[in-house]
Chains A and B, each alone.
Chain A
Amino acid sequence: MQEYISKKVGAIEFGLFSPKMITKMAAVKIVTPELYDKEGYPVDGGLMDIRLGVIDPGLRCKTCGGKLKECIGHFGHLELARPVFHIKFVAHILKILKLTCRNCGRLLINEERLKSFLESLKNPSAEKHPELKKQELKEFVAEVKSTKKCPHCQEKQHDIKFEKPSNFYENDKKLTPIEIRSRFEKIPDDDVRALGLNPEVARPEWIILTVLPIPPVTTRPSITLETGERSEDDLTHKLGDIVRINQRLFENINAGAPEVIIEDLWELLQYHVTTFFDNEVTQVPPARHRSGQPLKTLTERIKSKEGRFRHNLAGKRVNYAARTVISPDPKLKFNEVGIPKIVAMELTIPERVTEWNIKYLKKFIEQGPHNYPGANYVLRPDGKKKKITDETREQLLEELQPGFIVERHLMDGDTAIFNRQPSLHRMSIMCHKIKVLPGRSFRLNPNITTPYNADFDGDEMNLHIPQNEESRAEAEILMQVQSHIISPKNGLNIIGCIDDAIVGNYLLTKKLEFDREEAISLLISIGVENSEKLKKFGKKVSGMEVFSALLPSDFDFIGQTKGSTRDEKISVVIKKGNLVSGYIDRSTIGEEKGTLIRALYKEYGEEIGIDILNKIFRLGLEVLLRHGFTTAISDTDLPERTRLSCQSLIEEAGAKVNELIAERKAGKLEAIPGYTEDETLEFKILEILNKARNAVGEAVSSTADENNPSIIMAASGAKGSILNLAQMAACVGQQALRGKRIEKGYKERTLVSFKQKDLSPEARGFIKRGFKQGLSPTEFFFGAMTGRDSLMDTGLRTPKSGYLYRRLANALQDLKVEYDYTVRDANKKIIQFKYGEDSIDISKSEGGKINVKRIVKEVLGE
């Protein structure tokens, strides 16, 4: 195969600019800090010199002749009156100073020793671990640094001290950049190489600046305000400071000013050059605007979240995207997304005109941009983009021919990519089919909120429209909702039925029975029409039969119901597509554990899988619509008998606790090993109170009516639990802070309404009343304490865990499973010898395991 690469990067070399190089590549020598003359025209030799590039539309570059976007700008240069340090290289300067002789510039080591060390480092036969090499090198460098006498010229070496930000001292005498530069100049090329620099592109003396490259104006464009005033970029301001001080320094040197003044100016120049490179250097006060806000100089442009990398390169903004609030629409299919008409008329899909679709596309142009479905633009083969308006429409229609591209409005069935941040896993961005709807929000089926982790309390989501056939195909093959029903984290279905859909199917399969006509009308209303099973319906049709009508007739399945304190777990059996025993609840069709859904998906694939799931969901809703289902406070009404027994349960527990307290006071309580008597008492009290609450819960659930909607919701797993119900009906229970009963407040008591050292349940946050009955003031206060604590907790934990996750994802991002099943990083270093130690693809397993029994059964055909 021929490779279509005209030029290939062979190597990249990093080096330093030499002063010569800087002057050579400069288009302008900067001589004056002034920017514009009286007419507002850029000054020659100023920082906005027109030879530095163009930033005004219409003008041409003086250097290259290019127009605004053609000319990328040209560097200038500034001769510094005195050399200064480059702040980003001070660490290197210190190192080189310490490693070389102050007199002859040679490395402080004799040649044989150096040679043998370098060779041992490079020697490929004795392969060493990279960590080890680092260690050796460190030791060697330390050895060279500590040499006190130059082995070449016998010169005595002095201690070099470094003081932040950029001061070097030798025996308490300050070293000027000039001195350091002259020392670096003496280092022979071979020694430079040993230092790890390539002397051809990076001589050490080039670290110290004598000539400053002036970045082109295109990197620091000035903004023209509405008033016509010009506002310069931060970099231009900073450069202006540098040029100004540089000029003053020149003048003073030439005038023969006293050394003190020159030194002050030199230091000032050093400060300005330092802040030009980095305005956040420690112990250097940041340069500021007149308003007091720090200038954004070179380093700040690149660094951190708002910097070039994370903001502009990793986080690019795109066209053909939309964002609004989301809201639920249960009438949509799982893989659809409802988009507002105004969005559909703004976003477009390019369609190429051919002989066969020219009539079809002309219709869109006739409609224009303001009628739906219309078109916004026509692209001619010569690359011109024409907007469709009332004036241009007729002409565009006339000249339209094969080869043109029409950008038409979005229509039902188009492909879109839908996303909600934070995109923590691959299900956070999926491909949907568009459904154009009235309104101003994106609509999605409430059952697919889980993968996006969305709710409808004001969440916003993003929509992207792929613009060509390739990207559409890629999205449809890899990203469709139906391809993501099974989560890769545990091999269970992340999409399933929620809320009413579960209740509906639970009622249907457990209790309901219909007349033949009723059953068929129910099924037809959700779009099941040609099922063979409909024909077999008898006069009376059970809910199980109705549910079975959705299943393929060769489907076998064995699962289990959820089970609860009221109902035992029983098996759900489907034989030849008929639900024979059991009933449907959360553990068969719910999300994360819907075994039935997973089985269907495995057997029949994504398309049929999502279709059946969709029908199951709609059936649930339809059943509830016809049957009626509501919940009310009266659900928590208890019969007098139960109410009394609950009360006595709590009273008994209270009495037991008082007994224990009395026992402790008498000193008769025996401590659990490892704990004090008081701690033992606390444990025992907690245990008793928890037991009491559970007993109340059981009492509530066992006496409640089977048709009680709240009980149905809890039993089917759709929403709520028996515990919630018991809290409303009978007893809220113990409030706990940090795993203990409430202790804080006043001296040895929680509230002023109790006596000191009162350990009784009421005084330590036990709420014996239920929500319906109402809480006493003290009980309410205890409830508020735990409520606030948990609110604080979640508020503090979310950002912390988010950052933790970000770091983890960044650390793991280029790990990959190779073809030999090893997990390796980008350097092909082995992390794991077998992926997950068992090389199982979780998304193809059943909860991380392979069900060998089932497979054997299937293969043998039972």
Chain B
Amino acid sequence: MQEQKDINIQKHLLIPKHIKLPEDEKQKLLQSFNITLSQLPSIYESDPSIKELNAIQGDVIKIMRQSPTSSESIFYRVVING
């Protein structure tokens, strides 16, 4: 159990890259899709894959996944409490 604390799952091969979006880019994103935050898919603050990012409620996380159809697919999720 003690060992698990040291594992950074961000470095795991199967976990796609998670980035916290800066405020200006976040606004740009909301504008480009013409949406409000609540229309984005959500992610829990306690999600293991964003633990290292110190993201708080309302932040937007950018996820870059490897996709079999397009080489890389970009996904955004808004952080919610819990």
CB within 8 Å of B: which residues of A? 127-132, 135, 820, 822, 824, 827-831, 833-834, 836-838, 840, 848
How many angstroms between the C-alpha atoms of A838 and B70 in the bound complex?
A: 5
Chain A min CB distance to B50 (Å)? 15
Chain A residues touching B, majority SS: loop
Q: Which 8 A-B pairs have the closest CB atoms?
A: A838-B70, A837-B73, A129-B80, A838-B69, A837-B67, A829-B39, A837-B70, A837-B69
CB within 8 Å of A: which residues of B? 33, 35-42, 57-58, 67, 69-70, 73-76, 78, 80-82
For B57, the chain A residues whose CB sits under 8 A away are 132
Q: Is the CB of B38 within 8 A of A129?
A: yes
For B70, the closest partner residue in chain A by CB is A838
How many angstroms between the C-alpha atoms of A753 and B36 in the bound complex?
A: 74
A127 and B37 contact, Cβ closer than 8 Å, known pairs A833-B76, A838-B67: yes
Q: Is the CB of A129 within 8 A of B42?
A: yes
Known: A132-B57, A828-B39. 20 other contacts (CB 8 A): A127-B36, A129-B42, A132-B80, A132-B82, A135-B81, A135-B82, A824-B39, A829-B38, A829-B41, A831-B41, A833-B73, A833-B74, A833-B75, A833-B76, A836-B69, A837-B70, A838-B67, A838-B69, A838-B73, A840-B69
Q: Is the CB of B42 within 8 A of A830?
A: no
For B69, the chain A residues whose CB sits under 8 A away are 836-838, 840, 848
Interface centre among A827, A828, A831, A837 (most CB of B within 10 A): A837
For B40, the chain A residues whose CB sits under 8 A away are 829-830
For A130, the chain B residues whose CB sits under 8 A away are 38
For B37, the chain A residues whose CB sits under 8 A away are 127, 129
A-B contacts, 15 of them at CB < 8 A, read: A127-B38, A127-B58, A129-B78, A129-B80, A129-B81, A131-B80, A131-B82, A820-B33, A829-B38, A829-B40, A833-B75, A837-B70, A838-B67, A838-B69, A838-B70
Q: Is the CB of A830 within 8 A of B39?
A: yes
For A127, the closest partner residue in chain B by CB is B37
For B74, the chain A residues whose CB sits under 8 A away are 833-834
Chain B min CB distance to A263 (Å)? 49
For A129, the chain B residues whose CB sits under 8 A away are 37-38, 42, 78, 80-81
Chain A min CB distance to B65 (Å)? 8
Chain B min CB distance to A119 (Å)? 19
How many angstroms between the C-alpha atoms of A828 and B38 in the bound complex?
A: 10
Q: Out of B35, B58, B81, B82, name the residue touching A830 (CB < 8 Å).
A: B35
How many angstroms between the C-alpha atoms of A827 and B42 in the bound complex?
A: 15
Chain B min CB distance to A391 (Å)? 68
For B82, the chain A residues whose CB sits under 8 A away are 131-132, 135
For A840, the chain B residues whose CB sits under 8 A away are 69
How many angstroms between the C-alpha atoms of A130 and B38 in the bound complex?
A: 7
For B39, the chain A residues whose CB sits under 8 A away are 824, 827-830
Interface centre among A135, A822, A828, A833 (most CB of B within 10 A): A833
Chain B min CB distance to A365 (Å)? 60
For A824, the closest partner residue in chain B by CB is B39
